[in-house]
Amino acid sequence: MKNYYEILQVDKNADEEIIKKVFKYHIKKNHPDLFQGEEKQIAKEKVQEFNEAYEILSDKNKRKEYDDELNQNQIEKR
């Protein structure tokens, strides 16, 4: 299971404002138009991951479901 908090590099307790700021920072820093060749493809993949993480973590309902599933996975690994 992907850890969206690690992808965005935010704390699990980060509020929506912090998540949005960090998301915008990552998108600006890794925008595919800033790169060429293979690096451009890597940047596209990173941006796709950032978008996926932001989509979940910026929506209260999706985030709660995600947190519940993430917690369940951590319990099962023990």
Contact (CB, 8 A) for 31 and 21: no
Query: pLDDT class for 76, splitting at 50, 70, 90?
Result: confident
SS3 45: helix
Per-residue pLDDT of 7-57, as tens digits, reads 999 999 999 999 999 999 999 999 999 999 999 999 999 999 999 999 999
Across 43-59, b (16+ Cβ under 10 Å) vs e yields beebbebbeebbebbee
Contact (CB, 8 A) for 39 and 33: no
Contact (CB, 8 A) for 26 and 8: yes
Per-residue pLDDT of 43-54, as tens digits, reads 999 999 999 999
- Global pTM reads 0.90
